[in-house]
Amino acid sequence: MNSIILKPQKDKAIRHRHPWVFSGAIEKVIGFPGNGETIQILDSRNQFLALGSYSPNSQIRSRVWTFRKEAIDQQFFRQRIQNSIDRRNKFRQECDDSAWRIVHGESDLMPGLIVDQYNGIMVVQFLSSGVEYYRKDILAALKETTGINCIYERSDVDVRRLEGLSERSGLISGDTPKELIITEDNKKFLVQIATGQKTGFYLDQRVNRKIVAGYCAQKEVLNVFSYTGAFSVYAAANNAAHVVSVDSSSPALEVARRNFILNDLDVNSAEWIVEDAFQYLRKLRTQGRQFDVIILDPPKFAVTAKQVEKAARGYKDINMLAFQLLRPGGILATFSCSGGLSEALFQKIVADAALDGGVDAVILERLQQGLDHPIGLNFPEGAYLKGLICMRD
């Protein structure tokens, strides 16, 4: 089998069960592994550490499959998928939601594989060269394990280019509708799996939507980067006095309107603003308009660690504007889904935003992704979604 040999003193992360090997840690490549092929990972004394996929184009040169010597085949993936499903059974039994993430990449010991289930449909993302290499085995294992034949692929994301892969999207098997309706916390939402962001819906905010809605009763709410209005639906369903949803996508806001109708909410009691978020918030500041609750759930500003500095400026600007638009005693629910941005740095950015905005604030709650998006104990990068609920003095 082809192998990589690590440099002396560069095996600590692997020995602590971190699933990534960066290019700078590699002393030598033995053989000629192709993109995605399984290799042995050896320490500087040629001792076995793990089996992983090989990605010659990525800074993450290898992603670990297993720390044991075992076959990487369809049975391997079948067992990993079953373990992932079993891990979620308790949570799924406690509610009747119809949409869940059933495989969450590295944290479910399947680096680069994302599988979301919407009713009887699976939407998959193959984000690394390793899962791309074993694509057929993984798809067969998914069908066998879940009993679901209807699979749609949404591997149309930039991160595949870092792995030397082209983007891909489309129906894999079965028959999928252009849109479907899911239920979450007794609320209904339209999901467009072929054209929506990510796999069609932000399942990772499941718990946070309910928490934030608890602050919205009888309040004027501004939902920025609202997408299809899930936070807005939760706020309105919890008797918010007025909800303003802002997004740059007119089609997304049209779905948001339809989500209000689906949930028997008054569309005319809300505002729907198609505009750039930064420009619109500055316009509101000029107008002197203020809100009781502001929700900031922007897209990923930093895809890689190199982009964090630029992303930090964007997060600071948007949070500063939000603080200035809050009434005294108002609530800011602010999020970042940039994996390269640590929780500590995100808090510092929000603190600096309040300072530059000329307001004082305190943190009431810290939020993270839902339980179907677990965080590997030895994979802190898995804690990508960070949220703060702050109250302005």
Q: Are 243 and 270 in contact (CB under 8 A)?
A: yes
User: What residue has token string 């030598």?
Assistant: 28
Q: DSSP string spanning 259-312?
A: HHHHTT--GGGEEEEES-HHHHHHHHHHHT--EEEEEE----S-SSGGGHHHHH
Q: Are 372 and 91 in contact (CB under 8 A)?
A: yes
Please, how many CA atoms are within 13 Å of residue 355, restricted to the half-sphere of its CB? 7
Instruction: Give the residue from 221, 249, 250 showing the smallest Cα distance to 332.
Output: 221
Q: What is the dihedral of CA 95, 101, 104, 110, to 10 degrees?
A: 110
The active-site residue out of 150, 216, 337, 390 is 337
* 337 belongs to the catalytic site: yes
Ranges assigned E (strand) in the chain: 3-6, 20-22, 26-30, 38-42, 48-54, 60-66, 99-104, 113-118, 121-126, 151-155, 168-173, 180-184, 187-191, 220-224, 242-247, 270-274, 291-296, 326-336, 361-368, 386-392
Residue 86: exposure state from Cβ atoms within 10 A (0-12, 13-18, ≥19): exposed
Catalytic site residues? 337
